[in-house]
């Protein structure tokens, strides 16, 4: 039975993935910073008739990462699959986002992956087998305004994963990158906390929040992303990138089809109506607010 380690397993995509892999025959360890927060994971695993073994793991702490991986290897003989899911978000435009914001997000979203990969790879290479899945975001393919720290970190995950896949291909190790769009996870509860300190970018924030508000009306359940992760690990025809969840395929295809100048010009449109109309033309996604009384309001900016 293959052994899997899923980071950030106490909520959202990580929790759904841990349960899906356990249901698919993997022996799963769910990494989490606080073992006391794993109650819902345990309850959901029990309801699914599977077991997910909780293990203390903070991806921003190299010692905890190494000790967790060492413990799994000691108990199970190896780690066959690593799913790097743990992540945080901090949104804002570049001018209003302090360097410390970028550092915090990078430490988890990028360096956290590096720490975990470095811990499992020696053992995987020795056995010439293994699978690594990095959960990125469509924001790592399409950088919308006002998501600077988060999107920048996810673009870094793209480069890290593409290079890693080539590096370990000769060692029998499969690497995959999952690029979800809008998914029903707790991370979106924090998406409206933005600096908004200069009041110069109100339109940029408003349009980002409207995108989220529209997406959350049809947001994909984390279990659907978990299914993609399972498929990426078990398919006989593996790919490097997998897009999934609301808006991801449309954004990826639309961005490929348009020019860089088209994308930049979109941000320069003065009226929201023109912006939403052009966004729809370029991506095929209608994110315009519904008519009054029809719901789908855009959330207002909240200062961090």
Q: What is the dihedral of CA 131, 182, 159, 93, to 10 degrees?
A: -150
Question: Residue 192: what pLDDT?
Answer: 63
- Other CB atoms within a 10 A radius of the CB of residue 150 amount to 27
Task: Decide if 150 is catalytic.
Answer: yes
Residue 46 covered by a domain: yes
Q: How many CA atoms lie within 13 A of 236 on its CB side?
A: 0
Give pLDDT tens digits along the chain (304 positions). Answer: 899 999 999 999 999 999 999 999 999 999 999 999 999 999 999 999 999 999 999 999 999 999 999 999 999 999 999 999 999 999 999 999 999 999 999 999 999 999 999 999 999 999 999 999 999 999 999 999 999 999 999 999 999 999 999 999 999 999 999 999 999 987 765 566 788 789 999 999 999 999 999 999 999 999 999 999 999 999 999 999 999 999 999 999 999 999 999 999 999 999 999 999 999 999 999 999 987 554 444 444 433 3
In a domain, 278, yes or no: no
Is 275 inside any structural domain?
no
Domain around 76: 3-197+219-255
pLDDT at position 303 is 37
pLDDT of residue 188: 62
Identify the active-site residue in 29, 150, 201, 276: 150
Q: Is residue 227 part of a domain?
A: yes
Closest CA to 300 of 188, 207, 200, 185: 207
> How far is residue 191's CA from residue 205's CA, in Å, rounded to a whole number?
11
Domain membership of residue 299 (yes or no) is no
Q: Which residues pair with 133 in a beta bridge?
A: 83, 176
In a domain, 30, yes or no: yes
Cα separation values, 289 from 42, 125, 144, Å: 39, 51, 18
Task: State phi, psi for 178 to the nearest 5 degrees.
Answer: -105, 130
Q: Return the pLDDT at 193.
A: 73
Residue 230 CB coordination number (10 Å): 19
Residue 303 lies inside a defined structural domain of this protein: no
Instruction: Write the DSSP string, 63-122.
Output: HHHHHHHHHHHHHHS---EEEE-------B-TTTS-HHHHHHHHHHHTHHHHHHHHHHHH
For residue 176, is it within any domain? yes
3-state DSSP assignment of residue 277: helix
CATH code for position 223: 3.40.50.720
The half-sphere exposure of 145 on its side-chain side, counting CA atoms within 13 A, is 22
Tokens 């087998």 map to which residue?
129
Counted domains in the chain: 1
């Amino acid at each position: 039975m293959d052994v899997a380690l899923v980071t950030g397993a106490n909520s959202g995509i990580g929790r759904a993935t841990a349960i899906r892999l356990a249901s698919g025959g993997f022996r799963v360890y769910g990494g989490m910073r606080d073992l006391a927060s794993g109650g819902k994971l345990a309850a959901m695993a029990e309801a699914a008739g599977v077991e997910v073994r909780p293990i203390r793991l903070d991806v921003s702490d190299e010692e905890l990462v190494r000790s967790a991986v060492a413990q799994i290897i000691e108990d199970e003989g190896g780690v066959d699959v690593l799913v790097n899911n743990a992540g945080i978000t901090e949104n804002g435009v570049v001018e209003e986002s302090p360097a410390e914001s970028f550092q915090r997000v990078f430490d988890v979203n990028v360096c956290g992956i590096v720490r975990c990969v470095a811990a499992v790879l020696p053992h995987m290479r020795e056995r010439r087998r293994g699978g690594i899945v990095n959960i990125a975001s469509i924001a790592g393919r399409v950088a919308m305004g006002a998501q600077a720290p988060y999107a920048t970190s996810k673009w870094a995950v793209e480069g890290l994963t593409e290079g890693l896949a080539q590096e370990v291909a000769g060692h029998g190790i499969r690497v995959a990158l999952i690029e979800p769009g809008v998914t029903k996870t707790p991370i979106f509860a924090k998406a409206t906390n933005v600096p908004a300190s200069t009041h110069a970018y109100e339109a940029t924030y408003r349009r980002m929040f409207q995108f989220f508000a529209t997406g959350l009306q049809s947001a994909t359940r984390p279990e659907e992303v978990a299914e993609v992760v399972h498929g990426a690990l078990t398919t006989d025809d593996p790919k490097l990138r997998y897009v999934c969840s609301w808006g991801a395929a449309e954004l990826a295809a639309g961005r490929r089809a348009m020019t860089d100048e088209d994308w930049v010009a979109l941000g320069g449109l003065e009226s929201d109506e023109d912006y939403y109309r052009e966004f729809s033309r370029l991506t095929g996604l209608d994110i315009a607010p519904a008519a009054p009384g029809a719901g789908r309001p855009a959330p207002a900016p909240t200062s961090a």
